[in-house]
Structure 1
Amino acid sequence: MEKGILYKVSAKKILFIVGILVCCFPIVSPPIALILGFILTQTVGHPLEEMNHRIVKILLQCSVVGLGFGMSIFEAVKAGKEGFVFTVCSIFITLLLGLLLGKLLKIKKITTFLISAGTAICGGSAIAAVAPLVEAKESEMSVSLGTVFLLNSVALFVFPLIGHLFHLSQNQFGLWAAIAIHDTSSVVGAASKYGLSAMHIATTVKLERALWIIPVSLLTAFFYRKGKGKIKLPYFILLFVVAMLLNTFLPFIHPVGKIIVPLAEKSLTLTLFFIGAGLTSKALKQVGAKPLLLGILLWIFISVSSLLVILHVVL
């Protein structure tokens, strides 16, 4: 009996490891990796479920820093300038609209704030940053993260299709993805599917957007006056900037960058695999109808409004 149980457990681990190895092949794109991770979790289970969140965090940060070795600081500054006003307006309008809709839908105040912050800034990272400041319960965090991750998964497939439908340029799509998709991993995943230039623009603008975790966290700590949690600073963004500076001003780094960048892209694919694997039955059940509706309404608002602006303003 015990041998049978051990055999089943080891078989699950082997299948999961095979799934990870398959994602290392060039033919497997980030969206396919996400689907594969989701299917494996639903069929054979997730042997690394307790470590999944940490794995996603480490892989994503390594991916972002690695991508910096393929980018120029001058391109980044140009993209940042173009997206700055857009970013500020979208963040605060989304936060205010989210709080209003949450009140109308009679959703718990903290759950509403977490979903609104995740949609406005950078998904799971923003939720993780502000949750300790408002003394969010584990159930409230799970619902908020589940809502954001579900919509991220949809965006990964839908955004490139819409981009081609509206004939968006690389610049337009990169900016749109950075503004309207929650998590950095899904932003980079969707943009990389659209094109290399789109990925560079999306990564830069999204990381600039992620820096707004700091002022939003400070405002949260001031207005809520709850919790003793420290603000979690996104230090990996600093390393991303360092990587860009090295690539821009030290030409002898370029051969190394040509090795690091493909590894970073593959690390991103693995990140999406583990995000898909994290969508367990338990996680899906925790997302209630009203929080999901709030997330969808906010997502539609920021997606449609930003797309309209980009179509009429950005070349």
Structure 2
Amino acid sequence: MTARLRPALGLALAVALGVVASVAGAAWPTLGAPVFAVTAGVLLSPLANRWRGALDRGIGLAKGPLLQVAVVLLGAQLSLQQVADVGLSSLPVMLGTLTPCLLLAVLLGRAMHIGSDLRTLIGVGTAICGASAIAAVTPTIRAKDPDTTYAISTIFLFNVLAVLAFPPLGHLLELSQEQFGLFAGTAVNDTSSVVAAAASYGSVAADHAVVVKLVRSLMIIPIVVGLAVLVRCREGVAESAGRGGRVSRLVGLVPWFLIAFVMVVAMNSMGWVPDRSHEVIRLAAVFLIATALAAIGLSTDVRALRRTGPKPMVLGLVLWGSVTSTSLLLIWLTGDGD
């Protein structure tokens, strides 16, 4: 095989799995394309490992640049108007669930001797927006593939439990449509699972939940910037002399794809992204994320996952419980959604 064909081979395999996962995710939205993609990649990883030399470059393209482009495209679903209309009123609940979740991820994860990258991925995936947040954070902290796979698997398990358990819980607590929409939007992770849970409660709950969920996704921005700063500090980036050096260093802390993400959000807010293109862009983002996660799955060392043990799953359970309980408590205390 020629050197020119090697990158194409790994990329083609990831793209093929991304197509299959996207179709499967559309048929079973409760699971979603990311779960199908990473699962298929993991199942094929022993075979991929045999051809590692031929597949590595293409797989690297899929789980690197393609993943970053997908994060940028997610910005086309957001606007500053949505933040003003619904997001600002729901910010207390969102921040009130996000903060303890991230603190627990750090403190409990450290006490349980869970690796820094893995506890970070599980924390942001639970606190913000599941696989999309994990996809955004992975290139920023340069997380290893097994950590990404384990984090996505953990998030997926509790997404399924939320879809099954939250609607009966909402009826038991006599939550209004708006209250349940706020609850689902802040306590369920992936967008597909948010829609699945809220739609079973009612159309008003579903509409409210989607907006809350989209605004919650904006939390990716400060989290990724903060993590980029921490990574650079951990790597011992030298101080630059002079004002110009400080500015250059600050700019260098922000990943390019995050800057592009913010620009796309601004463009959408100004109406420069046509409404008719939103669904196409969303599907493109889902496909690219599925392709990237398939590549991550193909790179997974299953034996390393076995060595990790059940502790990360326990951490995910505690974080899920934290987000659920704090969301309900804050909705009750503030009366949001009434």
Q: Contact (CA 8 Å) 1:189, 1:268: kept in 2 or not?
A: no
- 1:147/1:161 Cα in 2 relative to 1: closer, same or farther (>3 Å)? same
Between the aligned residues of both structures, percent identity stands at 17
Unaligned 5+ segments in structure 1 are 132-137, 248-252
The match for 2:192 is 189
Q: Deviations over 1:233-262 (max 9, x none)?
A: 722034223202317xxxxx7xx412x022
Alignment RMSD, CA only?
Answer: 4.3
Kindly indicate whether residue 236 of structure 2 is the aligned counterpart of residue 227 of structure 1. yes
Paired with 1:160 and 1:268, the residues of 2 have a C-alpha distance of 23
Paired with 1:142 and 1:26, the residues of 2 have a C-alpha distance of 22
The match for 2:154 is 151
The match for 2:76 is 66
The match for 2:325 is 304
- 1:108/1:155 Cα in 2 relative to 1: closer, same or farther (>3 Å)? closer
The match for 2:203 is none
Paired with 2:231 and 2:157, the residues of 1 have a C-alpha distance of 32
Q: Contact (CA 8 Å) 1:118, 1:126: kept in 2 or not?
A: no
Give TM-score, length-normalised by structure 2.
0.63
For residue 19 of structure 1, report the CA deviation from its aligned partner. Answer: 6.3
Paired with 2:61 and 2:184, the residues of 1 have a C-alpha distance of 28
Paired with 2:157 and 2:328, the residues of 1 have a C-alpha distance of 17
- 1:109/1:152 Cα in 2 relative to 1: closer, same or farther (>3 Å)? closer
Q: Deviations over 1:201-259 (max 9, x none)?
A: 3112221x12322674488479x665328343722034223202317xxxxx7xx412x
For residue 88 of structure 1, report the CA deviation from its aligned partner. Answer: 3.1
Q: Deviations over 1:111-150 (max 9, x none)?
A: 5456545544543434543x3xxxxxx6x64454333212
| Counterpart mapping for 1:130-279 below 5 A | 131=141, 141-165=144-168, 166-167=170-171, 171-172=178-179, 175-180=182-187, 186=190, 188-193=191-196, 194=199, 195-207=206-218, 209-213=219-223, 216-217=226-227, 220=230, 226-228=235-237, 230-232=253-255, 234-235=258-259, 236-246=261-271, 256-258=274-276, 260-271=277-288, 273-274=290-291, 277=294, 278-279=296-297
Kindly indicate whether residue 300 of structure 2 is the aligned counterpart of residue 282 of structure 1. yes
Q: Contact (CA 8 Å) 1:144, 1:291: kept in 2 or not?
A: no
Which has the larger displacement, 264-273 or 108-117? 108-117
Paired with 1:198 and 1:302, the residues of 2 have a C-alpha distance of 15
Q: Contact (CA 8 Å) 1:22, 1:28: kept in 2 or not?
A: no
Kindly indicate whether residue 59 of structure 2 is the aligned counterpart of residue 49 of structure 1. yes
The match for 1:291 is 312
Q: Contact (CA 8 Å) 2:125, 2:155: kept in 1 or not?
A: no
Task: State the number of aligned residues.
Answer: 282
Q: Contact (CA 8 Å) 2:182, 2:212: kept in 1 or not?
A: yes
Give TM-score, length-normalised by structure 1.
0.67
Q: Contact (CA 8 Å) 1:176, 1:306: kept in 2 or not?
A: yes
Paired with 2:286 and 2:102, the residues of 1 have a C-alpha distance of 30
Q: Contact (CA 8 Å) 2:18, 2:287: kept in 1 or not?
A: no
Paired with 1:17 and 1:310, the residues of 2 have a C-alpha distance of 43
